[in-house]
């Protein structure tokens, strides 16, 4: 059984436990939540483009990081950060409380580039707001 500890980092941050399955499911719920979508909508950057007919239209070219202001181009990864840290499931008295924290209001969400998200979490860890923290909060 000692063999199991090989590299399977990015795809499955948690071991195959009931706890992990629940957390992953809730994260998936967040990924497709309307509130997350609304936060992304807020960060969208548009540019004008002209059709052959002369009509000017707009298209989304990416998302602006709400920390450094860089533009994450469409198709590139962008993170949606919880301003009020979610932390682990073990910090909550009930599953519903955890779900509420994860699927929070758009005001509690911030669109960040990968660098700023990592930096923000490093700062939070420094302040020791939560003992355990994970990358996609
Ligand atoms: Zn940034």
Q: What is the pLDDT of residues 58-91, one digit of tens each?
A: 999 999 999 999 999 988 899 999 999 998 888 9
In DSSP notation, 30-56 reads HHT-HHHHHHHHHHEEEEEEE-TTS-E
Tell me, yes or no, whether 83 lies in a domain: yes
For residue 126, what is the enclosing H or E element? helix 114-126
In a domain, 98, yes or no: yes
Residue 65: inside a domain, yes or no? yes
Distance from residue 119's CA to the centre of ligand 1 (Å): 9
Is 42 a domain residue?
yes
| Structure token digits, residue 20 | 């992990």
Position 75 scores a pLDDT of 84
What is the Å distance from ligand 1's center to 42 Cα? 15
**The pLDDT of residue 16 is above 60:** yes
- With respect to residue 13, please indicate whether it lies within any of the assigned structural domains: no
CA of 33 to the centre of ligand 1 (A): 22
Mean predicted confidence (pLDDT) in 88-105: 94
What's the total number of domains in the chain?
1
pTM for the whole thing?
Answer: 0.74
Instruction: Judge whether residue 51 has pLDDT over 90.
Output: yes
DSSP 5: G
Residue 133 has a pLDDT of 45
Kindly report which listed range (4-8, 18-22, 58-62, 79-83) carries the lowest average pLDDT score: 4-8
- What pLDDT score does 14 carry? 53
Q: Which domain holds residue 113?
A: 34-126
- In this structure, the strands spanning 79-82 and 109-112 are antiparallel
Query: Treating both helix axes as pointing N-terminal to C-terminal, what angle do 18-31 and 95-102 enclose, rounded to 10 degrees?
Result: 30
- Residue 107 inside a domain? The answer is yes
Give me the residues paired with residue 64 across strands.
71
* Ligand 1 centroid, distance to 1 Cα (angstroms): 41
């Amino acid at each position: 059984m000692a063999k199991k500890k090989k590299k399977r980092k990015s795809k499955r941050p948690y071991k195959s436990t009931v706890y992990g399955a629940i957390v992953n499911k809730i994260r998936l719920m967040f990924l497709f939540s309307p509130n997350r979508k609304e936060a992304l909508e807020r960060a969208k950057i548009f540019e004008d483009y002209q059709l052959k007919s002369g009509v000017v239209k707009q298209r989304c070219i990416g998302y602006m990081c709400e920390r450094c202001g860089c533009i994450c181009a469409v198709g590139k990864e962008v993170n949606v950060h919880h301003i009020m840290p979610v932390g682990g499931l073990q910090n909550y008295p009930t599953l519903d409380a955890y779900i509420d924290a994860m699927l929070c209001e758009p005001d509690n969400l911030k669109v960040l580039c990968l660098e700023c998200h990592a930096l923000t979490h490093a700062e939070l860890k420094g302040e020791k707001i939560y003992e355990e923290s994970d990358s996609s909060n």
